[in-house]
Amino acid sequence: MCLEGENISFGYKRNNLILHNVNISLESGKLLGLIGDSGSGKSTLCKILAGYENNYQGKVSINGKEIPPKGYNPVQLVFQHPEKAVNPKWKMKDILNEGNNVSQYILDSFGIKQNWLNRWPNELSGGELQRFALARALGPKTKYLIADEITTMLDAITQAQIWNTVLDIVKEMSIGVLVVSHEKNLIKKLCHEIVYLDDINDV
Amino acid sequence: MSTAVVTVNKGVFRGLNLRQKTFLIIGFTSLLLLTIVISSVFLGDESLQTNFGSKNLNPSPEHPFGTDWMGRDMFIRTLKGLGLSILIGAFASTISSILAIILGLLSSTGKMADSIISWLVDLFLSIPHLLLIIIISIGFGGGATGIIVGVALTHWTSLTRVVRAEIKQLKTQEYIHISINLGKSKLWIATKHILPHLIPQIFLGTILMFPHAILHEASATFLGFGLSPHEPAIGIILSESMKYLSAGYWWLAFFPGLSLLIVVLAFDMIGDNLGKIMDPRSAQE
């Protein structure tokens, strides 16, 4: 099983590409680190791989097959700002179970407490919300997780807790993870392989 | 909330928190408006009979707003006029809101529909409100129907813009993208994610449309293009009173005008305070 992006080119303006002929492949159960400067197109590449952005050239496929635009996307993206990833008018339990019913095991491993479930999103902190966002994204049908700076805004201890949990779960479900971060030390510690965006980007 | 909100408790409402105060204001003003409407509906026409024995009386305990040149009690006339104005305002702003919702939703279906509706909004906004109301109400034969249609067809523009902008903004939210990625259908997202954000806006927009509708109805009637003179409308009362102002009968215009102002302010207060309650960020202050 392999998520592949082939010859991906993208620009927000015409004649001003930020991604040109990017090739990237992510194997199931592997952790791939992606490093790049600010504004180099890391997040854009993540959005293309997860199907958020459709106006690109090239091909994104799983085992050579294109990802269907409707239905549950096996590639799930988690963002840097969890407070934007939740509907402020929904209770946490509805947010958590939007994709599928999250098992008690995942709740326990992320340390999500039962009394958080009846709260509104603005009553939880960023770290707590990010646990919800990850638990929601790691459903049984998820095959690849794209982690776009998911712990950048957290303190070191919470970062370590969250990454430990994510590592355990993805190992068990053999999910492929694309780890995007500025923090080289974090990526070196976590990932099997590291890719520099400047090396694979022709711009 | 991270920002510290210091509420100084002073005056009549001392000892209550902001939430209780807000509910109290909403309850009190709604009760006032409801009383006006109900009493105006149940007051029969016989209370407005002409009685030339008691014409042009000063305000007194027996006639709190005085009497007019035909001996009619101005308090009852004002009450009936306000009731009629509120009912017409309610009817017209409901129709306006329905129009706004339909057009706002239509504008989110495609680029073509969006530009047509934006153009329509700009077109209606570029014509002075009162002029348009007068033209439409004459076109529809004048009278009560004319004025209702006129007010309803001119007040949908701002709410349409609000609905359209709100949908546009919501569609780019990350949680909507996530919902699509979790395999949810468009209809599911529209009803579960977008609708809960729209309902308070629509509700508030309708209530805040009331004062505009009432004032425009009264001014069109005042100018003689609205309700017919035998109806006890506020606009009629005010325009008739103008003739008697120079004779020193100040109460004929003063009290009805003041009451109209109070009613309009009451609607504004209800709208503002409901807005505070319904926004989850300010509801907990």
- pLDDT tens per residue, range B9-44: 556 666 677 778 888 888 988 898 888 888 888 877
The region of weakest confidence among A136-145, B8-17, B219-228 is: B8-17
Task: Tell me whether B177 touches chain A (CB under 8 Å).
Answer: yes
User: Taking the domains of chain A in order of start, what are their residue ranges?
Assistant: 2-200
The region of weakest confidence among A73-82, B9-18, B36-45, B187-196 is: B9-18
Residue B194's H or E segment, with its range, is none
Averaged confidence pLDDT in chain A: 88
Which residues of chain A lie closer than 8 angstroms to B173, CB-CB? Answer: 84, 87
Contact B183 A122 (CB under 8 A): no
In chain B, what percentage of residues exceed pLDDT 90?
A: 10
| pLDDT of B3 strictly over 70 | no
| pLDDT of B6 strictly over 60 | no
Out of B182, B196, B281, the one facing A72 most closely (by C-beta) is B182
Nearest 10 degrees: Cα torsion B184, B188, B189, B193: -130
Q: Tell me which of B81 and B142 has the higher pLDDT.
A: B81
Under the banding of pLDDT at 50, 70 and 90, the label for residue B281 is low
Determine whether B42 is exposed, middle or buried from the number of CB atoms within 10 Å of its CB (0-12, 13-18, 19+). Answer: exposed
Superfamily in which the A2-200 domain is placed by CATH: P-loop containing nucleotide triphosphate hydrolases (3.40.50.300)
For residue A134, give the amino acid letter: L
Nearest Cα neighbor of A136 from A83, A76, A91, A181 is A76
What pLDDT sits at residue B10?
58
Averaged confidence pLDDT in chain B: 83
Give the gyration radius of chain A's Cα atoms: 17
Task: Tell me whether A87 touches chain B (CB under 8 Å).
Answer: yes
* Residue B69, SS3 per DSSP: coil
Mean pLDDT of all residues in B230-259: 82
Mean pLDDT of all residues in A166-176: 90
Task: Tell me whether A42 touches chain B (CB under 8 Å).
Answer: no
* Residue A81, SS3 per DSSP: coil
Whose structure tokens read 């009362």? B237
| pLDDT of A80 strictly over 80 | yes
Cβ atoms of A168 and A111 within 8 Å: the answer is no
CB under 8 Å to A128, separation ≥6 — which residues?
Answer: A112, A116
Mean pLDDT of all residues in B74-86: 85
Distance from CA of A121 to the nearest CA of B (A): 10
Strand A144-148 to A75-78 pairing: parallel
| The length of chain B, given as a count of residues | 285
Distance CA A96, CA B10 (A): 43
**CA–CA–CA angle A41, A42, A45 (5° rounding):** 85
Q: Which domains does chain B have, with CATH numbers?
A: 86-283 (1.10.3720.10)
Q: What are phi and psi of A36, to 5 degrees?
A: -165, 160
Which residues of chain A lie closer than 8 angstroms to B183, CB-CB? Answer: 70-73, 99
Task: Tell me whether B181 touches chain A (CB under 8 Å).
Answer: yes
| pLDDT of B70 strictly over 80 | no
Best residue in B175, B187, B197, B284 to probe A by mutation, most A CBs within 10 Å?
A: B175
Strand partners, A35: A196
Which residues of chain B lie closer than 8 angstroms to A88, CB-CB? Answer: 280
Cβ atoms of A49 and A60 within 8 Å: the answer is yes
Q: How far apart are the first and last CA of chain A?
A: 29
Mean pLDDT of all residues in B42-70: 74
Chain B, 16 to 35: residues with Cβ < 8 Å from chain A are none
CB under 8 Å to B47, separation ≥6 — which residues?
Answer: B73, B76
Nearest CA in chain B to A94: B192
Task: Tell me whether A135 touches chain B (CB under 8 Å).
Answer: no
Whose structure tokens read 């239509």? B106
Task: Tell me whether A77 touches chain B (CB under 8 Å).
Answer: yes
What pLDDT sits at residue B285?
53
b/e string for A15-39 if b means 16 or more Cβ within 10 A? eebbbbebebebbbebbbbbbbeee
Distance CA B174, CA B181 (A): 11
Q: Tell me: ipTM over 0.90.
A: no
| pLDDT of B62 strictly over 80 | no
